[in-house]
Amino acid sequence: MFSKWLGVTLVCAGLAACGTGHATFDVDVYSWLEGSTNDTIPYGAPPGLGTVTISNAPQKLDLLPGAGSSFVDTVRINGTMDARNATGSGSIAFQVYLAADSAGTYAPGAALFNPPPSANVSGANTSVITLTIPNLSQTLDSLFTNSQVWIRLAATVSNPGVSLLQGKAVLTSLNLHLVVSEKVF
């Protein structure tokens, strides 16, 4: 509850600081997922199985209502994910899906990264994967004029080795920068 009120307070302050016809929102998406099972994807891939994709359940993010009569000028995303490997060697790719509803997060077009950011893992270690998209407004502009957005995280693990590849992918930050402009008729 505190994070929602803090978000509303920051949005109101952001609106006061914006120029005429523009609103800028910085949303800490990670704060909605942190500490829940939705920020972590445990993975396990037996040897010889090839590639395995594991995901969490879609999570609803509430946005500021009333932006439907606006258009999105800029959508920037940045964050980090830890590949906390426990055993085995292979690779892990991380994907973020955004959609207007939970079912839509399973559509291939909901994927944000092409190709998804990835890392090679080996033994008990942690690899940091950086998530950066400079501007998504061309592909997802209408999505962010809704009062809610659904997010789903997925990890694709490849195990070419001879032992079990096991660990967990943990989201450690995810921020959304949005610039919304009034429609001019």
Domains of the chain: 2-182 (2.60.120)
pTM of the full predicted structure? 0.78
CA distances from 54 to 41, 62, 154, 173 (A): 7, 25, 6, 19
Question: 26 near 10, Cβ under 8 Å?
Answer: yes
Phi, psi angles (nearest 5°) of residue 143: -60, -40
Q: Which stretches in the chain have pLDDT values below 50?
A: 1-18, 184-185
Confidence (pLDDT) at 123: 93
Alpha-carbon distance of 72 to 183, in angstroms, equals 10
Confidence (pLDDT) at 4: 46
Confidence (pLDDT) at 86: 97
Residue 81 C-alpha from the chain's centroid? 10
Helices (H), the chain: 2-17, 30-33, 137-140
Confidence (pLDDT) at 2: 43
